[in-house]
Each structure stands twice: as C-alpha cells, then as structure tokens.
Amino acid sequence: MSTSTLLHGGAVIDGTGSPPQLNSSVLIEGEKIIAVGAEADALAQSHKDVQKIDVSGLTVMPGLIDAHTHVTLGEPASNDELFHRREPATAALIAAHNVKKILQAGVTSILDVDGIFNIGPALRDAINAGITEGPSMKSGTFALMTAVGGTAGRMIPDHGTAGYAEVVHNRDEMVRVVRRQIKDGADIIKIHVTGVIPARSGEIQVWTRDELKTVCDTAHDLGVPVTAHCRGDQATLDAVLAGVDIIWHASFLGERALEAIIDKKTAVGPVFTFLANLAEYGAKVGATASVQSTFAGELEHTGARLRQAYDAGVPLLCGSESGFSITPYGNWHAREMEVFVQHMGLTPLQAISCATYTNAHALQQFGQVGIIAAGAQADILVLDGHPEKDVAVLGNKTSFRHLFKKGRAITLAEVPERSLLRGERVEPWSAQLLKWDLIHQK
C-alpha cells in the first residue's frame, strides 16, 4: 500500500490569503504534508510507492474548519424541541450520523461550542478512535449561564442542567463547574454573557465582569480557553476585559468594545450564517417578515464594525451555527465566507483564510491545521472551481473531487437521509386558531 500521495498539477491555495500557486504539487506522507511545489515533485521522485493523483485544472486548498457548530442538538426548529424532545442515547446516535454530513461538506475540523448531555467530548473521542467518521473535533460541554438564563428564556432552569445549559449561582459554584467540565473532557468553556427574558426586548447582560473573570481565571489556570456568547456593547466589553479568548456574535458593538477587541486582539466569530439565512432565505421556510428584518439589521450593523476590527488585525473566525433547522448539518459550512465577502467587503482569498488558516486559532492549532505547508496536518480539499474568484463554489459539494483528513483519503458520497424518531419534532394540532369565522366567513 502506498504510504505517500502526490497531488500534482493543481492550483494550490495555501490558506494564508496568498494567491494560488499554479501548476503546483503537494506531497503527503502519513498524516502530514511534507512538501509543496517543486520540492514536492523532487521528493516524490526519491520516494518509493508514491500514489500520484493528477489534479490539473483543479484547486487544492486546506480542508475547511468550522469554528462554531452544535453537532449534538439535532436540527431543532424550536427551543421546545431542543429542551423537551431529546434523549441522551438517541441524541448521541444522531450526532454520530450528522458528523458524517459535516465531513462530506469539505470540513475537516470543527469546534463544537456547546451541546446536550455532555455528548460532545465522547463524540470527539469516538471520531479519534475510528468508531465513527467525522471531522477532527474540539468540544465544549454545557454553556454556563446564570439563573437569569440564556437564549431560551424561562426554559433555562434555576438549578442544574437543561438542553445545552448549565446554571451557576456564585463564584464557588463557577469554579467547581468549570473544573468539572474540564475533567469531563471540555476543550473550551463557553459562557452565555447575554440572554433573553420575557419582559425585555432583545438580549440583556446576565453576568458581571467579576463573575466572567472568575470563570476565565479558573479555566486559564488549567490551560483551557474561554469563549462567550455576547450581544451588546457592554457585554462584549466586559467579556474582553475579563479575559475571554473568543467572542461569539459581538452584535451591536459600540466604540468602547471595539477598541477593547482591537487592543487585546481578541478573536471574534460573528456567526453570521444563521442571521443571513434567516434574513435572506427565511421566507422560504416560513420565517416572519419581522424576524427577517431584525436579523438583517444586526448583520449590517455588526458587519461594518467587525470590518474595522479585521483591518486592525483582529482574528475573524468563520462558524456556521450548524445544528438548527435554519442551519442543518452538511449544508451551510461555507456560507460564512460568502457573508464576509458580501457584507464586510473581504476578498474571496481573505474569507478563505478566515475559514482555514485563521480558524485554527479556535482549535488551539494555529499553524498546524488550515494551511497547505510542509509540516502541517494533511487536511486537504480538491475541487473543480475557482474559490479565489467566487467562494460560493465551496458550498457546492458536487464540485469536490478529493478530500483528505489527516492524510487519509475520504470517500466522497452523500450521507443517506434518515427517518425522524417518534416525538423528535413538535407536531402542532394546527398552524393557526380554528375560529368560527374562519369556517363560516363568506
């Protein structure tokens, strides 16, 4: 069996933002890229049993990294489904099925930011052990929340866990839970700094800066990064100053938070895909006009601010929020790059760099993955198209020709659709009220 593979004659996009290297080669040995360009061709001549793959006319680039997934949630269409219609055993089995879809979308690594029933670390380990096939994975566990809640309002309990949430009440409990999550296998800690309560519009800040610092200090002492869901200027400012490593969303930034992000070079993952899908395509799946308008406004405001941060050298991460009915697995992992180009004015190569080279920050593997270079992990996507001109081609799986994860060729094939489990989805009695006038009006 060949131990080395030479991809020769392709246009190589290395992930750093540099222009494609035309008529170039990449030599893979084991799990690593050992040479690129003329050196790859020369080394291949001296190696025995080299499998040569002609990729002339094709693009060779790093496998995509999705820095914000929810692979255990199972594509709920509502919080009711997420919080009340999931069981641990079946949720784990469904997650093992769904990670295959993500890999088939050209995604070779993911950061699963939070999930249900602490399935994420176990799924990561199962992938590493070859029990199921999927992208390389870093995982969080439950998202930390105060008793005020998160994005599910009153569905967040006053104590314990529910859905993707774990509620903490005081500093001693914050320290204990962070340490326990790390013991349970968490690669990251996630905090919901803002949340929704029925009496208020939008999201409000539900953590103090001192509380955030307690979580950050505890996690950092154990070598684990902290990420935070933040919507609002003050919430983002407090999270950055408390030492959070990655800010998710960063919606409605003001000058103070923007200055802090730039000063500390705190990585930001805006996770625009969910917003863009609702704003632009929501009508196709029954979203209301008011919901579409709300998310469109957030997209434009935040995009302009984050372009300033990007120009100042802030790492900008690409994440799809895959795991909901608006962002089903295997479908929208390249969408964030399109949004970066359309709404932030990045070039396609800059957007590709965010989804590969820069996204390695989220995995704590910067320079090791997300790049075509000697010594990097051999996560490689080969496709028929020119993503340096139009990143939308990366969302079209029919353009893919070869995929390698850790140097191993992945068979490209559609993952069969499954049937829904009984009770998995909400089954309403009606789509509207059955009023007398509805039946008898002339």
Residue 218 resides in a domain: yes
Note the pLDDT of residue 147: 87
Q: Can you give the pLDDT at residue 433?
A: 87
Q: Percent of the chain having pLDDT more than 90?
A: 83
Say if residue 69 is in the same domain as residue 18. Answer: no
Three-state SS for the chain is CCCEEEEEEEEECCCCCCCCEEEEEEEEECCEEEEECHHHHHHHHHCCCEEEEECCCCEEEECEEEEEECCCCCCCCCHHHHHHCCCHHHHHHHHHHHHHHHHHCCEEEEEECCCCCCHHHHHHHHHHCCCCCCCEEEECCCEEECCCCCCCHHHCCCCCEECCEEECCCHHHHHHHHHHHHHCCCCCEEEECEECCCCCCCCEECCCHHHHHHHHHHHHHCCCCEEEEEECHHHHHHHHHHCCCEEEEEECCCHHHHHHHHHHCCEEECCHHHHHHHHHHHHHHCCCHHHHHHHHHHHHHHHHHHHHHHHCCCCECCCCCECECCECCCCCCCHHHHHHHHHHCCCHHHHHHHHCCHHHHHHCCECCECCCCCCCECCEEEECCCCCCCHHHHHCHHHEEEEEECCEECCCCCCCCCCCCCCCCCCCCCCCCCCHHHHHCC
398 band by pLDDT with thresholds 50, 70 and 90: very high
- Same-domain status, 125 and 232: yes
Compute the distance between CA of residue 378 and CA of residue 341 in angstroms, rounded to an integer: 27
Is the same domain home to 57 and 80?
no
pLDDT of residue 1: 46
Section 64-85 average pLDDT: 95
**pLDDT at residue 299, as a whole number:** 83
- Does 266 map to a domain? yes
Q: Residue 379 falls within a domain, yes or no?
A: no
Are 90 and 207 in the same domain? yes
User: Tens digit of pLDDT for each residue in 77-125?
Assistant: 989 999 999 999 999 999 999 999 999 999 999 999 999 999 999 999 9
Final residue of a structural domain among 289, 312, 333: 333
Q: Are residues 285 and 169 in the same domain?
A: yes
Inside any domain, residue 418: no
Question: What would the mean pLDDT of 212-235 be, rounded to a whole number?
Answer: 97
Q: What are 368-372's contacts with CB under 8 Å, separation 24+? A: 369/62, 369/65, 369/108, 369/109, 369/136, 370/15, 370/62, 370/65, 370/109, 371/14, 371/15, 371/16, 371/62, 372/12, 372/13, 372/14, 372/15, 372/26, 372/33, 372/36, 372/60, 372/61, 372/62
- Write the CB contacts of 377 (distance below 8 Å, at least 6 apart in sequence): 31, 32, 33, 365, 368, 369, 406, 407
Query: Is residue 340 domain-resident?
Result: no
Residue recorded with tokens 């990655």:
246
For residue 226, give Cα distances in angstroms to 33, 249, 302, 310: 31, 15, 22, 21
Q: Give the CATH number, domain containing residue 56.
A: 2.30.40.10
Could you tell me if residue 358 is inside a domain? no
Tell me what the mean pLDDT of segment 255-282 comes to. Answer: 95
Widest pairwise Cα distance in the chain: 85
Is 375's pLDDT higher than 50? yes
Within-domain flag for 423: no
Q: The domain that contains 191 carries what CATH number?
A: 3.20.20.140
Q: Which residue has the higher pLDDT, 235 or 78?
A: 235
Residue % of the chain over a pLDDT of 70: 99
pLDDT band per the 50, 70, 90 thresholds, residue 2: low
Residue 172 makes CB contacts below 8 A (sequence gap 6+) with none
Bridge-based pairing of strands 21-29 and 64-69 is unpaired
Same structural domain, 41 and 165: no
Total domains present in the chain = 2
Range of the domain at 82: 64-333
pLDDT digits (tens, 9 = 90+) for 146-193: 988 777 888 888 899 999 999 999 999 999 999 999 999 999 999 999
Same domain? 43 vs 134: no
Q: Which of 333, 354, 375 is the last residue of a domain?
A: 333
- Specify the pLDDT at position 282: 84
In a domain, 208, yes or no: yes
Indicate the residue among 333, 360, 375 that finishes a domain: 333
Average pLDDT, the chain: 94
Looking at the structure, tell me whether residues 69 and 56 fall in a common domain.
no
How do residues 357-370 score in pLDDT, each as one tens digit?
A: 999 999 999 999 99
Residues 232 and 99 in one domain: yes
Of the ranges 66-80, 190-204, 323-337, which one carries the lowest mean pLDDT score? 190-204
Q: What is the pLDDT of residue 131?
A: 97
Q: What is the mean pLDDT of residues 407-436?
A: 90
pLDDT at 74 over 60: yes
Considering the domain architecture, whether residues 131 and 257 belong to the same structural domain is answered as yes
CB-based contacts of 285-292 (< 8 A; 24+ apart in sequence)? 285/325, 285/326
**Position 294 confidence tier, pLDDT thresholds 50, 70, 90:** low
**pLDDT (0 to 100) of residue 149:** 79
- Written as six digits, the tokens of 315 are 């790492």
Instruction: State the pLDDT at residue 395.
Output: 98
Residue 310 sits in the same domain as residue 251: yes
Residues 55 and 131 placed together within one structural domain of the fold: no
Instruction: Give per-residue pLDDT as tens, 17-35.
Output: 999 999 999 999 999 999 9
